[in-house]
Structure 1
Amino acid sequence: MAEAHQAVAFQFTVTPDGIDLQLSHQALTEIYLSGMRSWKKRIVRVKNSVITGVYPASPSSWLFVVIAILATMYTRSDPSMGLIAKIQEHLPVSTQCQAVVSAVLFSTMLWLMLIFTMRLCLKQLLSYHRWMFEQHGKMSTTTKIWVALVRIFSGRKPLLYSYQGSLPNLPVPTIKDTVKRYLESVRPLMDDKEYERMTKLAAEFESSLGNRLQWYLKLKALWASNYVSDWWEEYVYLRGRGPIMVNSNYYGMDFLYVTPTPIQAARAGNSIHSFFLYRRKLNKEDRIPGTVIPLCAAQCERIFNTTRIPGEETGKETEQHTRANNTVQHWQDSDYIVVYHKGRYFRLRVYQAGRLLSPREIEFQIQRILDDPSPPSKGEAKLGALTAGDRIPWAKARTKYFSSGVNKRSLDCIEKAAFFVTLDDEEQGMMGDDPAASLDRYAKSLLHGKCYDRWFDKSFTVVYYKNGKNGINAEHSWADAPVLAHVWEYTLANDSFQLGYNAEGHCKGDVDPSLPRPVKLSWEIPPECEEQIAQSLAVAQALADDVDFHVFSFQEFGKGKVKKCRVSPDGFIQMALQLAYFRERGTFCLTYEASMTRLFREGRTETVRSCTNESSAFIRALEGGEVRATDVCKCLFRVASEKHQLLYRLAMTGAGIDRHLFCLYVVSKYLGVESPFLKEVLSEPWRLSTSQTPIQQVELFDIENHPEYVSCGGGFGPVADDGYGVSYCVLGENMINFHISCKHSCPDTDAHKFGTQIRQALRDLLKLLSPNQTEPSKTEESQPKVKKEQ
């Protein structure tokens, strides 16, 4: 076979005449070009490390400082105030060189001091967050001066990681402020007796144990880059024993109304090529960090070549000693992906002779996998179920059956791949006579699939369906959704608007037919391992079957009309969710809204507690049943909306509640002390967990002229067994997409009924805020204004 010969660089045989050496020039060329590609990447990394290390100065500024100091020597002035002479006395070099060398050393020290000073100044500037609390459209003089200074100290062309050393550390709030805000947040959820009991617990905690725990936390904040993130990753994500499928992983959808090509292999070709183009941009660090303001880019490092590794438990089975050696493993580089199709795993190299394969060549290779008639080996077909079930059985199976031999090599291949690809044999998307139901099936397919046809441990799995639709499933511990959403937006836009397809729907370009075929991975799965696979699959399947999903596109109005009411779109939607929940359950609940803290170094997320005294007062007034003036309800709504915006800004600027309380709880466990207050706080269920998926790269999509090229956003599973998970995406001026999840096993929840309540709540709020306009039509939103896919 040609590919087998290409894999051998040379052959030799011993004959009576000596050694007969035969070199394969093609294989040696491959080795040379691959080595060159590897060395180029190393050089780029070293270069970027130097540029980032001296930021906000530049390497060339060193030469400027040296020349300036040397120039002063000819004017017989001494800017060093005697330091150059002191250095000159201790140099073991000839007299002729002493003056120049000492001046260069002084210049270098001066340059380093300038860098340190500039970085310190930039760090102080980036600690200013008052601009977030100013009225929209009105900028104070202080903020204008701040913007100008940030631009001056930031330089002209920052790289992706340029700001990392200048970002401020996440501040530790005071115990008093956190406890006060917590009590305020739970007031609408408790009656007077419960609230009085919780107030006493909080006061006792604040006056005694709280100060001791706070001291340890402040010590960590001085030592660590971020006092939350490492514990958050370990205890919230990696210490979990249950399945990460549904409970932790999340998904993102393709375009809602169009599919660029109906050819599965072609869609994969363009898309996979785009992912590697994005990785190339990351390696070069040529992406500007943040948009208007610098954001932490630490999470970007683990987008590709990353896998979650399960670990067995060690230590005593107590709450404070239980430890699972779960880790997130990242490799520097990988030139291949692993593709799953009909129970088989294939390694597909995307680089040939040191160059990235063209989209047409990747399509050609994907089609080879689709046409491959070989059956899966014994136990291979449902192997991925191990990553979908409970974590400890998977860790034990990994140690016992995948730590040596052919299984280890194949598993290493999966875990070290750039990312994972599934070629699904189903059709998905908004299609058929019931587009609403088809979107629900699409969401469930991306969230859990068949429970064995995704590798849930990989940083992300890209799914390509038979009809050309695609989607993404992501593991959560390594980064948060906005980071992967940035990659997904780039890939969708580059696939459709930059690369495109020919008239037949295939990728553009030519194919080198001599490309080595994708390599099918080999497995030797013993019967005992097959039993464990079956058990993990049963656990995962039960979890998947219990998930109730409803996805719909609300097009009666969008942020355009909401903004005309002079209300924040996010605050408007959060009030609608509160109203919908109250109408369905007759009560309020603890509500989680995700907010980012990437204004700080290694920042991840914080919680915005959207159910407030103000929001509950507004909803009770609206639903009170008595005749109330519209102006009163309007006033209460605006107060509630402003309170929500304040809480969101506080969360973003490090003054949130939940991460502080979480870290205090972790410290208490390390110290082996019990806190009734913290224990009760950390055990409260989030029955309404919400998140907004914003479009971050608006310039990539022309939503006004091409409204069909919009993604439906993404979603996640319910956090509480008796609650809802709600993700929403505000698209353009006239569309809001919702993803609602809950569990069939809970008799009190129903995703479709809750969706109906959300629709009505949105209509009622708009009618309240703009009573003079005609009430929107109450037709089903699943009938899109643009032509739906057939």
Structure 2
Amino acid sequence: MTVLRQKVDVLTNQSQEIYKLLKKNLISKEYANYQFMQKSQIPTMHFQRSLPRLPIPALDLTCKRYLAAQKPLLIDEAYIKTESNVEQFINTSGKHLQELLKNYDRLNKHSSYISEFWSDSYLRDRKPIPINYNPILVVHKDERPAYNNQLIRSANMIISSLRFYKSLKADILEPEVYHLNPKKSDTERFRNICSKLPPAISWYGAYLFKAYPLDMSQYPNLFNTTRIPEIDKDRLIHNPAGKHITVQYKGHFYAFRVLTNNNDIIPAKQILARLKYILEDPIPKCEFPIGILTTLERNKWASLRHELESNGNDQCLKYIDSALFNVCLDSEDLGEDPYGIVRNFLHGDGENRWFDKSFSLQISKDGQAAVNFEHAWGDGVAVLRYIQDVYTDSRENPFISPDTDPYDDNISNVIRLDVHLNDKIKSSIQEAKNEYKSTCKSLDIDYLIFNRIGKNVCKKQAVSPDAIMQLGFQVGYYRMTGKFVPTYESCSTAAFKHGRTETVRPCTNATKAFVLAVTSKNKPPVSELKYLISECSKGHNQLTREAAMGQGFDRHLFALKKFAEKTNMACNIFEDPAYAMLNHIILSTSTLNSPAIFAGGFGPVVKNGLGVGYIIKDDELGVLVTSYPPYHRGSDFIDSLRGTFDELVSLLQKY
């Protein structure tokens, strides 16, 4: 066994060799159980080569869908003008831009036509990334109180994160697959057949089972990845050589290795000891925490980062940038109040955060846990998979218990990163604290938990639960303001190679008809209202299918606009005020459902907008709303939603 272990050590970086050894059970069970979270029969990236490419929609269909989204928002005169602009665009510049986009797509078959443009849009935006861009996913606490001790929970979640990372690197993490009929495809037979198919045709084999493998190209960027601020456009760096994590506590940065030279996870007792050492460090709270600088406008932060580097902090920043991931150990007890929990993890005071990291694992003093992630490198689908796997693994396979004794024979392996600051940087840190405090104070966070409706009620009435949620948002907003506004629902296009997201536009002619009917003084009979609800559900399902299949219009027009800018081509469709209006998103909505998730949230994308994160459970729904009063008050929207969902469930259950 000693000889075999030496062989494994040599091959640790060669994922295919590890995969073969694991499959043949040539690695000790004890070793594999600690080092790897999963042992998938199908290699993690098995389907990547044969994934279909994101289609470029037909120009006329995109324009038709664009006009359909504009119709409920524009008065007749404005719509006629927009319609004329679109017709002219189809017959003139649109054709040329479509050909440019198709040529670009043909030359970049390794990716998708939207990937570069979409990442670029994140990296070029100069707004601060916390609240504006970085979302959070909050997981449930452990049902065993003793395991919610900050030291125990953070150690277990770090170990599970490393087991996830090792499984990903070894190509033995279960591939992400959407099973249309899990009883028929989520089976050993499916795995046996697909694992034996050559990667070049593996997707087609899964398709015959009505199972759809999803793109996993973003997953490697979960780890060792950081966004670096630069003037005008930031950049992403990925340093796979990093074998350490960074930990923030009381505003200070610490770093310690979690992987050996052979890429083995260090013993659990050592990880526990190193975290304990940090939590027991008697050093006072950091007066000038550099993490607050990641809350700044990006050009300002870029200048200050260069100042930091030139002031002798280059090595310190390299530790942060190259870390596998960042851990924020907070000093506050958050209790069970969703408001306080979300506010702390979404923004906090910024002093114990590094928002530029691909993701930070955040754990409060009383064991509440969340992930806050930077958005340029990837989307919520990859982060959701990571956090739900880590949440489950850390609960079901904890390597640290309340009885575990920490042990490390060389605690000096924990490094506190000493930062050298001149007066200019100190002054900038103080200014950033004040500025960020003002921003956070201006943000309202409100929530609704409604237990009269959920998936079960909707399915019984043969309507889409997501459609009912979105319909509720339309009715609720109209009741609050008397207006119909641009609405965004995020939809993943991970069914395609390097797919990112597409937009579903939930404000439709059908939803407008129902809103006007249900809010009128002379309401139609219940049967007519239920018919209108059914039509809204059908329409929403169609829009969702189109978006998921790469047939939405938003990303297509976005790419065409980028080519128009590149070639200095004037396009009346993009110069039309209606186009800018449609992309000034008032209702920004998103959902990521999982039994692991307690709450998810993000900030409004515009000052006069609402950020709406929601979860639909079997017999309950939850809505989290962020807003900037006095533009909007999320509490008013929540009050309106409460009455709206009451009425919707009453309508659905009648007759």
> Residue 81 of structure 2 aligns with which residue?
197
Aligned counterparts of 1:265 and 1:656: Cα–Cα separation in 2: 46
Query: How is 1:157-172 mapped onto 2 (pairs within 5 angstroms)?
Result: 157-172=41-56
SS at match of 2:272: helix
CA-to-aligned-CA distance 1:503-540 (integer Å, 9 cap, x gap): xxx26466345444511112211111222223333333
Q: SS at 2:48's partner residue? A: coil
Corresponding position of 1:784: none
Q: Tell me how far 1:175 sits from its aligned partner.
A: 1.7
- On the 8 A contact 1:547/1:743 being kept in 2, the answer is yes
Q: Alpha-carbon deviations, 1:696-732, whole Å to 9, x = none?
A: xxxxx6xxxxxxxx5313111011211111111223x
In structure 2, what is the Cα distance between the partners aligned to 1:555 and 1:513? 52
AA in 1 matched with 2:214: L
Partner residue in 2 for 1:631: 527
The 1:745–1:527 alpha-carbon spacing in structure 2 relative to 1, beyond 3 Å, is: farther
* Per-residue deviation, residues 361-416 of structure 1 (Å, max 9, x unmatched): 32222111111113467x6x3211111111111111222331574x0001100111
Alignment of 1:630-669 (within 5 A): 630-669=526-565
Do the aligned residues in 2 keep the contact of 1:358 with 1:509 (CA within 8 Å)?
no
Q: Counterpart of 2:371?
A: 472
Distance 1:765 1:343 in 2: 47
* Distance change in 2, residues 1:740/1:500 (3 Å): farther
Q: How many angstroms does 1:605 deviate by?
A: 0.3
Answering whether residue 648 of structure 2 is matched by residue 739 of structure 1, we say no
Per-residue deviation at 1:687? 0.4
How far did residue 587 of structure 1 move?
A: 1.4
Partner residue, 1:416: 322
1:270 to 156, 170, 176: 156
- Relative distance call for 1:548 and 1:683 in structure 2 (3 A) is same
Contact 2:251 2:291 in 1 (8 A): no
Change in CA separation of 1:333 and 1:267 when aligned onto 2, cut-off 3 Å = same
Rounded to whole Å, the distance in 1 between the matches of 2:381 and 2:586 is: 23
CA distance in 1 between counterparts of 2:19 and 2:261 reads 25
Q: Is contact 2:11-2:17 (8 Å) kept?
A: no
Residue 270 to residue 714, structure 1, CA distance change in 2 (3 Å): same
The 1-side partners of 2:229 and 2:148 are apart by 37
**Change over 3 Å in CA distance of 1:683–1:221 after alignment to 2:** farther
- Give the secondary-structure state (helix, strand or coil) at the position aligned to 1:41: coil
Query: What is residue 361 of structure 1 aligned with on the other side?
Result: 270
User: Offset at 1:190?
Assistant: 1.1
Q: Distance in 2 between matches of 1:360 and 1:428?
A: 27
1:45–1:411 distance in 2 versus 1, CA, 3 Å: farther
Distance in 2 between residues matched to 1:234 and 1:423, nearest whole Å: 32
Query: Are 1:312 and 2:220 an aligned pair?
Result: no
Matches within 5 A, 1:228-377: 228-235=114-121, 237-255=122-140, 258=143, 260=145, 261-286=147-172, 287-292=174-179, 293-313=212-232, 324=233, 326-351=234-259, 354=262, 355-375=264-284
Within a 5 Å distance, the mapping from 1:427-506 to structure 2 comes to: 427-430=333-336, 438-499=337-398, 502=401, 506=402
For 1:217-228, what aligned pairs fall within 5 Å after superposition?
A: 217-224=101-108, 225-228=111-114
Ranked by relative contact order (alpha carbons within 8 Å, sequence separation 6 or more), the top structure is: 2
Letter of the 2:588 partner, please give it: S
How many Å separate the matches in 1 of 2:403 and 2:474? 47
Deviation at 1:683, TM superposition (A): 5.0
Distance 1:683 1:623 in 2: 25
The change in CA–CA distance for 1:753 and 1:683 in structure 2 (over 3 A counts) is closer
Change (3 A) 1:494 1:509: farther
CA displacement at 1:256 relative to structure 2: 6.1
| Superposition deviation, residue 41 in structure 1 | 2.9
Q: Which residue of 603, 608, 614 corresponds with 1:722?
A: 608
Identify the residue that residue 302 of structure 2 maps to in structure 1. Answer: 395
Percentage of identical aligned residues = 29
Give the structure 1 partner of residue 27 of structure 2. Answer: none
Task: Identify if the C-alpha distance between structure 1 residues 208 and 181 changes in structure 2 by more than 3 Å, giving closer, same or farther.
Answer: same
Runs (5+) with no aligned partner, structure 2: 21-39, 180-211
CA deviation vs aligned residue, 1:602-656 (integer Å, no higher than 9, x gap): 0010000000001111111111211411111111110111000000000111110
Q: How does 1:110-189 map to 2 (within 5 A)?
A: 157-189=41-73
| Distance apart, 1:692 and its partner CA | 1.2
Contact 1:693 1:713 in 2 (8 A): no
CA distances 1:323-381 after superposition (whole Å, capped 9, x unpaired): x2x1111111422111111121111222357542344432222111111113467x6x3
Equivalent-residue separation in structure 2 for 1:296 and 1:611 (angstroms): 29
Asked if the contact 2:223–2:325 (Cα under 8 Å) also holds between the matched residues in 1, the reply is yes
In the alignment, structure 1 residue 40 sits paired with structure 2 residue 15: no
Alpha-carbon distance between aligned partners in 2 of 1:402 and 1:585, rounded to the nearest angstrom:
49
Aligned to 1:210: 94
Matched residue, 1:763: 646
Alignment root-mean-square deviation, CA:
2.4
Tell me the amino acid that sits aligned with residue 457 of structure 1: D
Q: Does the aligned pair in 2 maintain the 1:595–1:651 contact within 8 Å?
A: yes
Matched residue SS, 1:727: strand
Tell me the distance in 2 between the aligned counterparts of 1:557 and 1:678: 41
1:468 corresponds to which letter in structure 2? Answer: G
Superposed CA deviations along residues 543-591 of structure 1, whole A, max 9, x for unmatched, are 2222111134322332112211111111111111111111111111111
Kept after mapping to 2: 8 A contact 1:662/1:682:
no
Match of 2:289 in 1: 382
Aligned to 1:132: none
- Aligned residue identity for 2:168: L
CA shift for structure 1 position 37: 7.7
Check conservation: 1:259, 1:468, Cα contact below 8 A.
no
CA separation of 1:308/1:35 partners in 2, compared to 1, >3 Å: closer, same or farther? farther
* Structure 1: gaps spanning 5 or more residues: 1-32, 50-155, 314-323, 431-437, 696-700, 702-709, 773-790
CA distance in 2 between partners of 1:713 and 1:476 (Å): 18
Please state if 1:613 is matched with 2:509: yes
Please state how far the C-alpha of 1:238 moved relative to its aligned partner.
0.2
Residues 525-604 of structure 1: matches in 2 within 5 Å? Answer: 525-604=421-500
Decide whether aligned partners of structure 1 residues 192 and 561 sit closer, same or farther in structure 2, where only a CA change above 3 A counts: same
In 2, Cα distance between equivalents of 1:756 and 1:420: 38
- Paired with 2:472 and 2:327, the residues of 1 have a C-alpha distance of 38
Distance 1:262 1:486 in 2: 22
Q: Does the CA contact (< 8 Å) of 2:493 and 2:501 recur in 1?
A: yes
Conserved? CA contact 1:345–1:521, under 8 Å: yes
* Secondary structure, aligned partner of 1:442: helix
Counterpart contact for 1:343–1:376, Cα < 8 Å: yes
State whether residues 290 and 351 of structure 2, in contact with CA within 8 Å, keep that contact through their aligned partners in structure 1.
Answer: yes
Conserved? CA contact 2:141–2:368, under 8 Å: no
Alignment partners' CA distance in 1, 2:558 and 2:304? 32
Mapped partners of 2:550, 2:412: distance in 1: 52
- Residue matched to 2:28: none
1:312, 1:396 within 8 Å by CA — same for their partners in 2?
yes
